[in-house]
């Protein structure tokens, strides 16, 4: 079986169409963040983000379990409750504006999901499954609902496949009340993780994540590990054939630990980062033999041209380089190719150094 995996699409719909027309696979995984912006108008993005952050600040001060949209609705219903936050008499106007922008953002994002469904339906010649990220709406209420893998599992080509999307962060500029909630909490010494409980129930062969498991391609420079504890707990006890993740664009590659292959090819769509604009185009081809990963090909789409960055084969627990890295890839790639293959501890594979 051949699987093509791309993650963090970030509105790269043109590039998605090119990839679907230029590649062949038995199965496609199109993972979040699928979208990047909820508005076409930059001014509306700025206005929505400013109001959202202001309302989050009020919610925090109130110590209420409100979303900004909940707060906007409550302000309009009970304005007298919020006199403290309304010294200039503008709070009700801001609440109405936020609700209006929220509706525009929701409509815009749903229109984009309709376009993506049309692209997949027209150009993909194999089943394609999708997973929402923290920049996405809950896909159950979009045109992609039949492909949605969040908190779902499917049996395809003899493999049990399970997915869990979203991330434990609030994403500015996205209608927060409609996103996937990442259920993982620790209170009074007790820990509950919905992804962990879900995977323990399903026991999948392939796991599709947006937020990576703690310790596997989850390290952000200057911050450290940000991966999910629950998914890591599950993977400490069980060994699926493959775990796919995204979300962290700076920590990418493939590794094999205790019989499980972990893979994050980095972002397919271009995205802003603390270090500046981060180019995209990265995706991976994954090959299976005898129900185990046998080879991984890292590839990159550059305009209408697809480059092969690296091909490795997994023999037992050892990686083997199938061919030297092309010189043009070293000079035309934003990724550090020496970091694409890791050992079980996350260190770079010596053969690439």
Q: In angstroms, how far is the first alpha carbon of the chain from the final one?
A: 30
Domain count, the chain: 1
185: nearest Cα among 196, 177, 175, 174: 196
H or E, element range at 105: helix 91-123
CATH of the domain at 25: 3.60.21.10
Quick one: pLDDT at residue 300? 94
Does residue 191 lie in a domain region?
yes
pTM confidence score = 0.95
Quick one: pLDDT at residue 295? 97
Does residue 215 lie in a domain region?
yes
Quick one: pLDDT at residue 214? 96
Quick one: pLDDT at residue 274? 66
Quick one: pLDDT at residue 353? 54
**Ramachandran angles phi, psi of 191, nearest 5°:** -115, 130
Q: What does each of the 353 residues of the chain score in pLDDT, given as a tens digit?
A: 999 999 999 999 999 999 999 999 999 999 989 999 999 999 999 999 999 999 999 999 998 888 999 999 999 999 999 999 999 899 999 999 999 999 999 999 999 999 999 999 999 999 999 999 999 999 999 999 999 999 999 999 999 999 999 999 989 999 999 999 999 998 888 999 999 999 999 999 999 999 999 999 999 988 899 999 999 999 999 999 999 999 999 999 999 999 999 999 999 999 887 667 778 999 999 999 999 999 999 999 988 889 899 999 999 888 998 887 776 666 667 788 888 999 888 888 877 65
Quick one: pLDDT at residue 278? 79
Does residue 341 lie in a domain region?
yes
Which 8-state DSSP code applies to residue 90? -
CA-to-CA distance for 314 and 307, rounded, in angstroms? 21
Does residue 46 lie in a domain region?
no
Quick one: pLDDT at residue 331? 63
Q: Decide if 348 contacts 339 (C-beta within 8 A).
A: yes
Does residue 64 lie in a domain region?
no
Does residue 57 lie in a domain region?
no
Which CB contacts under 8 angstroms, 24+ apart, belong to 71-78? Answer: 71/95, 72/96, 72/98, 72/99, 72/102, 73/99
Does residue 82 lie in a domain region?
no
Does residue 15 lie in a domain region?
yes
Q: How far, CA to CA in Å, does 267 sit from each of 4, 143, 264, 334? A: 14, 23, 9, 11
Residues 6+ apart with CB under 8 A from 69: 98, 99, 102, 175, 176, 177
Domain hosting 208: range is 2-41+103-352
């Amino acid at each position: 079986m051949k699987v093509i995996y791309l993650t963090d699409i970030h509105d790269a719909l043109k590039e998605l169409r090119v990839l679907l027309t230029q590649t062949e696979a038995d199965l496609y995984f199109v993972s979040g963040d699928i979208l990047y912006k909820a508005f076409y108008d930059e001014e509306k993005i700025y206005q929505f983000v400013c109001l959202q952050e202001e309302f989050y600040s009020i919610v925090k001060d109130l110590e209420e379990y409100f979303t900004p949209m909940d707060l906007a609705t409550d302000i309009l219903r009970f304005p007298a409750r919020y006199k403290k936050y309304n010294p200039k008499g503008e709070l009700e106007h801001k609440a109405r504006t936020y609700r209006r922008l929220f509706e525009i953002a929701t409509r815009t994002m749903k229109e984009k999901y309709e376009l993506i469904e049309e692209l997949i339906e027209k150009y993909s010649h194999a089943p394609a499954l999708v997973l929402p990220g923290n920049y996405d709406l809950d896909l159950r209420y979009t045109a992609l609902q039949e492909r949605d893998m969040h908190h779902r599992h499917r049996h395809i080509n003899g493999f049990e496949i399970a997915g869990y999307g979203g991330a434990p962060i609030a994403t500015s500029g996205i209608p927060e009340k409609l996103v996937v909630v990442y259920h993982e909490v620790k209170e009074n010494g007790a820990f509950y993780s919905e992804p962990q409980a879900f995977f323990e129930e399903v026991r999948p062969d392939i796991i599709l994540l947006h937020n990576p498991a703690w310790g596997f391609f989850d390290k952000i420079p200057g911050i450290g590990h940000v991966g999910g504890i629950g998914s890591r707990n599950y993977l400490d006890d069980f060994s699926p054939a493959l775990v796919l993740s995204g979300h962290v664009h700076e920590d990418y590659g493939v590794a094999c630990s205790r019989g499980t292959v972990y893979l994050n090819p980095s972002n397919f769509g271009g995205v802003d980062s603390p270090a500046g604009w981060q180019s995209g185009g990265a995706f991976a081809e994954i090959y299976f033999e005898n129900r185990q990963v046998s080879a991984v090909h890292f590839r990159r789409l550059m305009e209408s041209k697809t480059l092969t960055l690296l091909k490795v084969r997994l023999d037992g627990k050892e990686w083997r380089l199938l061919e030297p890295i092309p010189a043009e890839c070293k000079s035309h790639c934003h990724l550090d190719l020496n970091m694409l293959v890791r050992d079980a501890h996350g260190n770079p594979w010596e053969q690439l150094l």
